[in-house]
Amino acid sequence: MQPARPCTCGGQVAAQRILEGIPNRYRNASLENFWEWWKLQHSREKLAAALTSAYQLLEHAETRATLPVDLRSKLDLILHKCGPKPLPDGEIGWRDLKPAQEPQGYRSLFNWAKNDRDPSDFWWIDGPPGSGRSTLAAAILKAWCEYSGKPGLFVSVRAFSLELKDIYYDSRSFRNTDFLGERDRMAPLLKAPCLVLDDFDRLDADIRVVRALAQLLDHRYSEELPTLITAGRWAEALAGTDKETYPLLRLEDSSLLRRLASSKRVVLRPTLLRLMESVNG
Q: Look up residue 12 and give its amino acid.
A: Q
User: Which residue type, as a one-letter code, is found at position 58?
Assistant: L
**More reliable by pLDDT, 203 or 175:** 203
In whole angstroms, give the CA distance from residue 25 to residue 66.
Answer: 46
Q: What is the pTM of this model?
A: 0.86
Q: Which comes out higher in pLDDT, residue 137 or 18?
A: 137
Q: Can you tell me the distance from the alpha carbon of 39 to that of 44, in angstroms, rounded to the nearest whole number?
A: 8
CATH ID of 8-22+105-270, from 3.30.70.260, 3.10.105.10, 3.40.50.300, 3.90.1210.10? 3.40.50.300
Sheet with 195-198, side-by-side order of all strands? 103-104, 264-270, 122-126, 227-231, 195-198, 153-156
pLDDT, residue 239, reads 67
CA 145 to chain centre: 16
pLDDT score at 259: 92
Strand duo 122-126 + 227-231: pairing: parallel
Q: What is the pLDDT of residues 243-273, one digit of tens each?
A: 666 788 888 888 998 999 999 999 999 999 9
Q: Give pLDDT, residue 88.
A: 82
pLDDT (tens digit, 9 = 90+) per residue, 51-70?
A: 999 999 998 888 899 999 99
The arithmetic mean of pLDDT across residues 160-176, rounded, is 71
Residues with Cβ < 8 Å from 242, sequence gap 6 or more? Answer: 249
Q: What is the pLDDT of residue 219?
A: 96
- Domain map of the chain by residue range? 8-22+105-270, 42-101
